[in-house]
Every structure is written in structure tokens, then in C-alpha cells.
Amino acid sequence: MSEIAPPEEEPRHGDLPPEEDGQFADDQTLSPEFVRSVEDAIDAEDVEAYHGLTREIHPADVADLIGLLREEERDALIAMLGGAIPSEVLAELDEDLREDVIEAMEPAKVAEAVMELDTDDAAFVLEDLDEEKQAEILALAPIEDRLALRAALDFEEDSAGRLMQREFFASPAFWTVGQIIDRLRGTEDLPDKFYEVFVVDPAFKPMGSVPLSTLLKSKRETVIQDIMSSRDMRTVPATMDQEEVAYLFEQYNLISAPVVDDADRLIGMVTVDDVVETVREETQEDMLALAGVEADTGLSDTVFETVRSRFSWLAVNLGTAILASLVIAMFDAAIGQIVALAVLMPIVASMGGNAGTQTLTVVVRSLATKDLTATNAARIVFREALVGFLNGLIFAVIMGALAGVWFFASGWGTEAAAINLALVVGVAMIINLLAAGLAGILIPIGLQRAGADPAVSSAVFVTTVTDIVGFFVFLGLAAAVLLPAAG
Amino acid sequence: MSEIAPPEEEPRHGDLPPEEDGQFADDQTLSPEFVRSVEDAIDAEDVEAYHGLTREIHPADVADLIGLLREEERDALIAMLGGAIPSEVLAELDEDLREDVIEAMEPAKVAEAVMELDTDDAAFVLEDLDEEKQAEILALAPIEDRLALRAALDFEEDSAGRLMQREFFASPAFWTVGQIIDRLRGTEDLPDKFYEVFVVDPAFKPMGSVPLSTLLKSKRETVIQDIMSSRDMRTVPATMDQEEVAYLFEQYNLISAPVVDDADRLIGMVTVDDVVETVREETQEDMLALAGVEADTGLSDTVFETVRSRFSWLAVNLGTAILASLVIAMFDAAIGQIVALAVLMPIVASMGGNAGTQTLTVVVRSLATKDLTATNAARIVFREALVGFLNGLIFAVIMGALAGVWFFASGWGTEAAAINLALVVGVAMIINLLAAGLAGILIPIGLQRAGADPAVSSAVFVTTVTDIVGFFVFLGLAAAVLLPAAG
């Protein structure tokens, strides 16, 4: 038998992480050893070795790799690659990193890379740059691309207009499946990937959509209007916020959606792969916002950027902590006489803070997923108040008993005083957990109705309420009930 | 002109919320008025009216509607509909609601509804039921469906085997585009919707995939192997956790992925619409877990269920709050002499708690998105410690100055004592914010390495550290530095 050369094939690295190559660790992330080999190649300015190492991994993994490099190494890599990062890698970089990488690239190279991308990815790469840099790069692009990109950038950040790509496939209602397939085979200017044919009326208004799988299952002579569905299509206005777009995709299990202008004319398409990222980012932003971390920060920020981004929330928290301290200071005479109050007061405040955060987190999520709406708000407010009250009751009994025994056993007061202290702790616990439940739901709902993002500012209000109510009720009751007894 | 009847059409409610019908409010959720009309129809046991109202809304919206009903109304609705909810609505119900609805349905009706669904949706409906109920429903299903469902339920919950559907389209490598299209037109047993053709070798092992748009763009005589890509395909083992599946979809922008058994044979397909939900759920679970809320709870739980689910975290928090109180109690003599210490101590602890939560939240997210890996862990730990130290320094200056002035102005002590108090507050702040940074990153990393979910248990450890360090360092330093001066 003569030797037959194996057919030319794309490198295989599709399936499981190719453990034999050691590029990936068990958790599917790049292995430290692999990253170190790449760093060595960069240090040695060995382009060949770098390409040899990275040729077989996906652009998304190359983007992760760049995120793992130190700043000097990143700059050295860009220089070594002739001032450019491949466009497909650029589109996959994390937001906090992309800006730094593009700053380090030559404008001409950025322009070149951007032109190779679909409009949504291109706008995504350009949007974080300052206007000067943007203009510089756009000036280097061919007129047609420049106009398309300017149009994309004219839409607000986080709008459907930014998220969409201008490449899509639309058909008039009277075309047959055969005509459409013939046209698809002949047309050059199609999106890289698409999942549905949008059926439009003569005014280019979307009437319905046909999944490609339905198209493929239908006979050539079938008229597209007969297989289109309008129920499974959701038309997205270009001005819609991406959070709303993500809601539509999740609620109606969409794969792609037509984007329309003010006159309801089809101008673009949003696909689910962009939305998956939005879903994660929006939930994550809520999560970070509740903890007082700015949304667009990441591990690639410098120490100085991180200190600054965390500072503002800590400063606000300092303000509320001082407020709470002023409440404590009102009762310094009582504390001076019964030091046990200083020992017990953080417990009441802390329980309130935790209960409030529980409610707040559930409510912020329910508002985002639209499970909590005008229809059921009153019922859920009542429910949260009741839950707060009931947990307050349980912990009032537990903590009241503990405090009474502790107070009595340590010899701080008489049996009657211990019972009074137990009652004070119990009542304060009930009131604070009720306040926590109410604050945890009323504050985010109120902020949302006022047009603010409930995730961003609720937490500080809720803990202020629970701290102040906790300290005030506990110390106030203690001063009223115990001081005559102790004094 | 003779009157021409308009062509029969599916009802249009695709695009913008049909405000004229009043079904939807401005935020795309069902309007309170619409929900009230439905409730009226249920109260009047008017099936016709109910169908008239709900006929034009999407099954996902009907599911939301059911979630907005009170329990009695829900049961009345199910009874009114003859003991059944349509299968497509069943598949869209929230997890916490689905169980209640199925409990209220007759087993035979559940079996009937389940058989109409794809395997992934059917398993999804059945998985939360207890074994007895599951067996009862499965016994009513035809043997073929029963076996497929048992196989699906044999995979662990939250595994790819559960997430996948058994319906997919695969092609041998040598088929042409024309052959595939002809076969698609003739085959009955195809998935409802699919997005890619999986190319398999003779052992039924996936070799690559072809997006349907690529198939449609190619000429009939093209051999599928020549247009398939292995780079853009990721094969998913049936045992893979859904969190890992979601990671693959997001990292590599997948629309669908082949699922394989232990022998690498193609047995099913995961599609992106199931993954979108997983992405949201997994991020949301982390967010709720950090706030001490159990993942599978929702607004449809009863008050009792909610009290119970929140209780355990509050109980743990009570334990740590008591621990912190014991630390305070160690220094009761100092507080008895200088009450200002009781006023200031919550500030130091609270700042530490907030700084720790900031770091913790970023770290938990970075671990989930695999941005924080073995490769960069050491660097990021150092960075967080430095950020904590620097913010500690800033707030040490601010709070030290405030405390010193406050202490002196209120006449609690001498000028020297005020300076000493300022120093004590400052040093305690630096140490506690440094501790917060370290605890915020080392605890979740440690928990993950130990095989625990860092989102679930980190928060309590981190606040315990910041409370105890905060109180101990502040009160300890104050006792050491100020007491001799004051005494």
C-alpha cells in the first residue's frame, strides 16, 4: 500500500481539555505551567514559540491568557506581535482589560482589527475608548465601515442598538423556501452565523420569523409566510435597554430577535450569544452593587483603581456608622452604668442587618426577574413583614433567655433586672427584625419607583435603618426600664 | 368589490407589549388590571372568559400569571381546567411553584402533559417530585417515554444529562448538503428546534459541527466534512455539572453542544436557551448564598417555608455575634471607664465588615467566572491585602482625626488622651481593613480548594473575622494605651 497523507484538518481541540498537552488544568482554565511557558516565550521575545503554544487554543482562551499576564508582559507581547492583537481575541477580552490593551496598540492596527469584526463586536471594542482615540481609529476606517460604526456608537451604551449586528437575513412574505435557499447560496453579505429568517412586510416591518431548522424541514415550494410564527418572535426597539432585551430572550426562549428603528423598520439583529453575557453581567452587577463594588471593575484593574472604586462605598458606610454611633452616644450614661448594654447592643444591630440583607437580596433579584411586580407587591411586603416579625419572635426568645442568664450569672444585677434585660433584648429583637423586613422590601421598591437602580443604593439605606433602629430601641428601652432599677 | 376575508393568522402579540389590550404594563410584566380580570374569571368559574383572556399571551406569561395568583385561586384554576395545566405552561413555571402546581394536578394529567414535552423539559417537570409521585406518573406513560425519562432522571440533578434533550440531528462525515436537506425534509423524529448538524464518526463520536446557516449557504454537492468545524464545537460529557456547561457556552459562544456518554458516543444535545437560564440561576444562587438565603426559595413559598429557610443563617449569625460580644465583654472594665470606646467600636467593626464583603463578592464572582485561577491567585491575594491596607490608611486618618476631635471636644479626656485615642482608632482601622482584605480572598479560595461552595459559607467566616479583629484590636489597644493615661 502506498502511504496516503492524512487529509488536511483543522487542529482538533474541540472536545475535552486536551490534558496531554497540559494547556488546561482540571477546572478547564489555562494551567499555570502553560501560562508560564507563554511568559517564557514572551520574555525571550520568541514569536515562533508563542505562536506554537497559542495556535491550538481558542481565541477566548487567548483572551484569558492575556488577562493572566502582568502589565509589562502584556505590553511586551503586543510589541512582539507587531503592535496588534488579532481581532477575534480583541472581541473576547474582558471590559476592564480591553481598554488597556487597545491603549497599548497602534491606532492603525486597532482600525484594521475592528474592521474585521461584526458591527456589534466592533462597537464593543471601541465603546470604552475616549472620543479622541475613537475618532482617530474611525478616521482610519473605510467610509462604509465608519458610517456603520458611528451609527452603532450613536445608540446609547447598553442599548439594543449597541448589542445588535447590522448583518441579518430577511425575506418578503411571498418567497418560497426554495427561493430563499437559492438566495442564501448566492449572497455574500450574510452574517457569519444566524438562526432565523425574518419575514418582513413591504415597509420592512418584521411580521414573523422562521427558525432555520423549520426552513430546512420544509419543502422547496412552501411559501415562507405559511411556516412563519409571530408568536415566537419578539421585536426589539433599538433604544431598548439590554437588561430588557435579556429579559425577553429568557422569558420567551429566543435565539435571535429583529431590532427595529422608530418607524418599526428592521435594522439589525440581536443573537443569543451576546445575551448570555448580558444575563451574567446584569445579575453580577446587581450582586456587586449590593456589596458596594462598582460594576465595571475587575481583577485586571490596578491597585490604585481598585482602592478608589472601593473607597466611595466605604466612605458612605463610614457616614452611616457614625450616625449609628451618634445614637449610641445619646445613651452613654446608660452604658456607663450598665456595661452589659455595650456588650449586647451589637447583637441586636447585627441580626437586623443580616435579616435586612436577606430580604433585600431576594427583593432586588425578584425585581430584576420581574417576579415582583405591581400586582403582587402589597402581598409580598406583608409577607416579608410577617417573616421578619416571626423570626424576630424566635430570636427574641433565644437571645432574651441567653442575655438574662448571662447578665444574672455574671453578677451585673438582680434577678428582676436580669428579667427586665431579657425583655428589653427580646422586644428590641422583634422590632428590629420587623424593621429589617420592611426596610428590605420597601426601600428597593421605592428606589425603583423613583427611577433609581435598587441594587446600587438600597444596601446602605437598609443597614442604616437596622443599625439605628437596633441601637435606638435596645438602648432606649434599656435606659427606660433598667436605669431606675439599677440606679 | 367583493369582501375578502383576511387570511387566517396566528394572533399577533409578538412585538411590543400590546398596550391597547392592557395585558402588559409598561415594564413588560402583566398589568394588575389584567391579572384582576383573570382572577375574576376564576372566581366566577368562567372557563370561557379565562381562555378568552389568556389565549393571546405566551405560555411563559401564563406561567407568570399562575405565579401571581393566590394559592386558593391557583387550585381553583387547576380544578376549573379539568385538573390540568397545559404542558407548555408547566415547563415555564418557576421551580418553587412547579412542585405545588403538580401536587394539585391529577397524576394522569401530569403524565399526559409530560409526554408532550422534550426530554429535558419533561425531566425538569418531574425532578422535584418525591419518588412515589414520580413513579406514579411514570407508570402512566408509554414504555418508550418511560425509559427515556428514567434514563434522564438517572443523571444527577444539575448535570448535562438532565439539561440535554435526546432529540438531535447527526450526520456521517461523507453525506452531502443535498442528502442532509433531503433527509431533514423526510424525517419525523427531529427536535422541535435545532441549530447545528453534528457530524459523527462510525462509532457515533462527534467530530465537528455545522451551523444550519453554513449548511444553507453551501451548495448541494458539498460534503459535510468539508464545511464542518471542530474548533467551534465543545463536546459535553453527560456527567458534567451545568455550571461547567454554562461556562463552556459563554466562553466559546456556543448555540448548542453535543452530549456524550462514557464511551464518547453522542447521546443528546444541550441548547443555549436552557443555558441562559442556568447562567442566571447560577449567578443568582451565588448572590443569594452570600446574603444567607437558600437557593431554591422564591416569592411563591409560604411564610412558614420562608421563615424556616431564613432562620438557619440568622442562627449562625447569632453565634458569630455572640462570639464578638464575648470579645467585647473581655474589655468591660475599659468600657466602664471610657464609654467613648462603646461609641466608637462599632465603626471599626462595620468598616471591616463592609471592606471584607466587597473583596469577598469580587472573589466569589471571579472564582465562578474562572478569572481567578491557580495561575494568578498569589498575585490577587497580595493585591487585595494591599488594597485593604491602603483603604485602611485613608480611613485611619479620617476616622482617627474625627475620633480625636470628638473625644477631646466632648471633654472625655485630655489632649494627650485624645491623640492616643485617635492613634488607637487609626491603627485598629488599618489592621481590620487589612484583615478584611485577606479574609475576603483567602477564605473563599480555601473553601473552594477544600471542595466547598465558596458562595455559601464564606460570608459568615469573613464577618466573624472582621468583627472579632475589629473589636479585639480596637478595645485591646485602647485598654493598653488609654487606661493608664485615664486611670
Give the closest-approach CA distance of B375 to chain A in angstroms: 5
Tell me the DSSP string of B230-274.
Answer: STT---EETTSBHHHHHHHHHHTT-SEEEEE-TT--EEEEEEHHH
CB B384 within 8 A of CB B445: no
- What is the C-alpha to C-alpha distance for residues A205 and B116, in angstroms, rounded to an integer? 34
Among B375, B379, B441, most A C-beta atoms within 10 A, so best to mutate, is: B375
User: What are the C-alpha distances in Å from B207 to residues A274, A465, A471, B191, B225?
Assistant: 26, 60, 66, 20, 9
The SS3 assignment for A238 reads: coil
Is the CB of B296 inside 8 Å of chain A's CB atoms?
A: no
Residue of B208, B211, B342 with shortest CB distance to A193: B211
Instruction: Give the nearest partner residue to B212 out of A212, A306, A373, using CB atoms.
Output: A212
Distance, C-alpha A285 to centroid of its chain = 4
Mapped onto helix, strand or coil, the DSSP state of residue A169 is: coil
Q: Which chain B residue lies closest to A206 (C-alpha atoms)?
A: B15
| Contacting A residues, span 381-410, partner chain B, CB-CB under 8 Å | 383, 386-387, 390-391, 394-395, 398-399, 402
Measured between CA atoms, the residue of chain A closest to residue B180 is: A216
Give the pLDDT confidence of B62-112 residue by residue, as tens digits.
999 998 898 889 999 999 988 888 888 998 888 778 888 888 888 888 888
Return d(Cα B232, Cα B228) in angstroms, integer.
Answer: 9
Sign of CA dihedral B349, B350, B356, B359: negative
Asked if the Cβ–Cβ distance from B318 to A216 is below 8 Å, we say: no
Residues of A in contact with B191 (CB under 8 A): 213
Residues for chain B: how many in total? Answer: 487
Of B13, B29, B234, the CB nearest to A14: B234
Cell of residue B467, nine digits = 468583627
| A351 contacts on B by Cβ (under 8 Å) | 314, 317-318, 321
CB B74 within 8 A of CB B66: yes
If you search the block for the grid coordinates 437586623, which residue do you land on?
A352
Contacts of A211 in chain B (CB under 8 A): 193
Separation between Cα atoms, residue A449 and residue B25, nearest integer Å: 14
Q: Is B223 on the interface with A (CB under 8 A)?
A: no
- Which of 409-438 (B) contact A at CB < 8 A? none
Asked if A255 lies within 8 A of B253 by C-beta distance, the reply is no
The residue in chain B having the minimum alpha-carbon distance to the alpha carbon of residue A197 is: B213
Pairing mode of beta strands A170-172, B170-172: unpaired
Cell numbers placing B221: 454537492
Q: Which residues pair with A241 in a beta bridge?
A: A159
Contact B120, B152 (CB under 8 A): yes
- Grid cell locating B349: 467593626
Can you give the pLDDT at residue A21?
60
Please give the residue of chain A at the shortest CA–CA distance from B210: A193
Q: Which residue of B has its CA nearest to A189?
A: B217
Smallest CA–CA distance from A345 into chain B, residue:
B325
Q: What is the Cα gyration radius of chain A?
A: 31
Chain B residues within 8 A of A199 when measuring between CB atoms: none
- Chain A residues lying within 8 Å of B342, measured CB to CB: 328, 332, 335, 339, 341-342, 345
Interchain contact, A321 vs B277, CB within 8 Å: no
Asked if A361 and B287 come within 8 Å (Cβ–Cβ), the reply is yes
Mark yes or no for CB contact B362/A297 under 8 Å: yes
| DSSP β-bridge partners for residue A223 | A176
State the smallest CA–CA distance between residue B139 and chain A in angstroms.
31
Alpha carbon distance B323, B342 (integer Å) = 17
CB B29 to CB A373 under 8 A?
yes
Judged by CB atoms within 8 Å, which residues 54-73 of A form the interface with B?
Answer: 58, 60-61, 64, 67-68, 70
- Block means of pLDDT (10 residues each) for chain B, length 487 residues? 40 42 81 92 92 90 91 90 87 84 85 83 83 86 85 89 91 95 85 92 96 94 94 93 92 94 95 88 89 81 88 93 94 91 94 94 91 90 95 95 88 84 96 97 95 88 95 95 66
Q: How close is the nearest chain B Cα to the Cα of A34, in Å?
A: 9
Which B residues in the span 191-210 are in contact with A, Cβ-Cβ below 8 Å? Answer: 191, 193-195, 206, 208
Inter-chain touch B390–A360, beta carbons under 8 Å: no
In order along its 487 residues, chain A shows pLDDT tens digits of: 333 434 444 444 444 444 446 788 877 889 889 999 999 999 999 999 999 999 888 999 999 999 889 888 999 999 998 888 888 899 888 877 888 888 888 888 888 888 888 778 888 888 878 888 888 888 888 888 888 888 888 899 889 999 998 889 999 999 999 999 999 988 777 888 899 999 999 999 999 999 999 999 999 999 999 999 988 899 999 999 999 999 999 999 999 999 999 999 999 999 998 898 888 888 888 999 989 888 777 787 888 889 998 999 999 999 999 999 999 999 999 999 999 999 999 999 999 999 999 999 999 999 988 889 888 999 999 999 999 999 999 999 999 999 999 888 887 778 888 999 999 999 999 999 999 999 999 999 999 999 898 988 899 899 999 999 999 999 999 999 988 644 4
Q: Number of CB pairs < 8 Å for A and B?
A: 393
Give the C-alpha separation, B274 to A45, whole Å.
44
B312 near A CB under 8 A: no
Measured between CB atoms, which of A325, A357, A374 is closest to B25? A374
Judged by CB atoms closer than 8 Å, whether chains meet at A329 and B311 is answered as no
Strands A236-237 and B236-237 come out as unpaired
Q: Are B361 and A288 in contact (CB under 8 A)?
A: yes
Contact check, Cβ <8 Å, B313/A230 = no
Residue A166: which of A118, A203, A125, A209 has the closest Cα? A118
Residue B330 contacts A where some CB pair is shorter than 8 Å = no
- The three cell numbers of residue A204 are 420592512
Cβ A299–B380 below 8 Å, yes or no? yes
DSSP state of A201: -
Question: CB–CB of A332 and B339 under 8 A?
Answer: yes
Alpha-carbon torsion angle B58, B61, B63, B67, nearest 10: -170
Residues of B in contact with A186 (CB under 8 A): none
Q: What pLDDT, on the 0 to 100 scale, is given for residue B484? A: 65
Among the listed residues A172, A173, A177, the one whose alpha carbon sits nearest the alpha carbon of residue A218? A177
Q: What is the CA radius of gyration of chain B?
A: 31
Residue-wise pLDDT tens digits, A338-361: 999 999 999 999 999 999 999 999
- Whether the CB of B139 is below 8 Å from some CB of chain A: the reply is no
**Cβ-contact A173, A227 below 8 angstroms:** no
Q: Which residue has the cell 491597585?
A: A303
pLDDT of residue A467: 95
Residue B311 touches partner A, C-beta closer than 8 Å: yes
Interface test with A, best of B304, B354, B389, B395 (most A CBs within 10 A): B354
Residue A269 DSSP SS3 = strand
Q: What contacts A73, CB < 8 A, 6 or more positions away?
A: A39, A42, A43
ipTM entry: 0.84
Residue B230 at interface with chain A, using a CB cutoff of 8 Å: yes
- Measured over the CA atoms of residue A338, residue A340, residue A342 and residue A344, the dihedral's sign is negative
Task: Tell me the three state secondary structure of residue A81.
Answer: coil
User: Can you tell me which residue has the cell 451585673?
Assistant: A412
Question: How many Å apart are CA B316 and CA B73, to the nearest integer?
Answer: 37
The residue in chain A having the minimum alpha-carbon distance to the alpha carbon of residue B231 is A14
Nearest CA in chain A to B248: A28
